[in-house]
Amino acid sequence: MSITIDIAIAKTNKYASRESGDTAEIVERPGGGMSVILADGQGSGRAAKSLSMQVTAKVAALLKEGVRDGAAARAANDFLFATRHGQVSATLDILSVDLKTNSVAITRNGDTACIIQTSAGVRTYREAERRLGLHSRTRPCIEEEPIVPGLRVLLVSDGVANAGQRSHQSPWDLNELATFLTSGQSAADLADSILSEAIRRDDGRPGDDMSVVALILREPVAAPLAIRRMTAEVPVP
C-alpha cells in the first residue's frame, strides 16, 4: 500500500531540571516500516537517563534483528529484572508501523496515555500494563490497527496527561486533548501544539518531564521521486 509515514517527537524537561529521565528513538524495521521507542526511567537525573537509554537500546537492537514488539518489551522487562533485581523500573512504549503485517501496533508498559483516531472515531487509553523491571512476568498492553491513510496515534507521557493538575485543575481530559487532532496538520505541528498546551496548563513551568509522540499516516503526495527525511533538533543547556 502506498502511504507516507509521518512521525514526530517533541519533549521538554521538568522545569529547572537539566536532564530528563526519558529517551526517545526512531528506528527502521528490517521487514519494512518504522518504530518509535519511548522509555522513562524511574527517578530523576543521570541514573534515570542511563536506565531509559539502556531500555531503548535493548529494544532497538531487538527490533532491528526482526524480533516482534511484544517479545522485545518482555525481553526488556526480563533484562531489567535480572540485572537490577526488581529494584528499578521503567516505562516503555513502542509505536510501530509494520509493513510486513500491514498494521500499526502500540505496545505499552507504564503510564503513558494513548489516543488513536481512525475513521470509526477516537479511542483513548489512560493506563497500560505495569512498568518494566519490577516483576518477572510482566506483559505489555498491545493495541493494533490496520495501516490506513488518515490513521493518527498520539502517545503522551504522564507529565502531559496530568498537566495543570497541580494548579487545582483536573488532569487533562484525553477526549479534550484529542480535539488537537485536526486534518491537514503535520505530525510535527500536532506534537508541538500539544506540548505547548501542556506547558501552558502548567503555567510555563512543567511539573514533570513531558513527551509527545505523534504518528500520522497520509496519502503520499504525487511526486516523481520518494524522498525520506529525518531531523533532530537538540538544544543543549
Nearest alpha-carbon partner for 143 in 131, 155, 158: 155
Instruction: Give the residue ranges of DSSP H helices in 103-204.
Output: 158-161, 174-177, 187-201
Site for a second copy in 140-159 (CB under 8 A): none
- The neighbour count for residue 144, using CB atoms within 10 Å, is 14
DSSP state, residue 183: T
Burial class (CB in 10 A: 0-12, 13-18, 19+), 103: middle
Q: Which lies closer to a second copy via its Cβ, residue 129 or residue 209?
A: 209
233 touches a second copy (CB under 8 A): yes
Residue span binding a second copy (CB under 8 A) among the ranges 9-17, 73-81, 83-91, 120-128: 9-17
Here's the x/- map for a second copy, 168-207, by CB under 8 A: it reads as -------------------xx--xx--x---x----x-x-
Site for a second copy in 23-52 (CB under 8 A): 23-28, 30, 32-34, 50
222 touches a second copy (CB under 8 A): no
State the minimum distance, in angstroms, from the CB of residue 156 to a second copy: 15
Site size for a second copy, by CB under 8 A?
Answer: 55
Q: Which lies closer to a second copy via its Cβ, residue 141 or residue 155?
A: 155
**How big is the CA angle at 53 (ends 47 and 58), to the nearest 5 degrees?**
130
State the minimum distance, in angstroms, from the CB of residue 208 to a second copy: 13
Task: Name which position in 67, 99, 122, 148 contacts a second copy (CB under 8 A).
Answer: 99
- The neighbour count for residue 206, using CB atoms within 10 Å, is 22
Rounded Cα distance, 3 and 201, in Å: 35
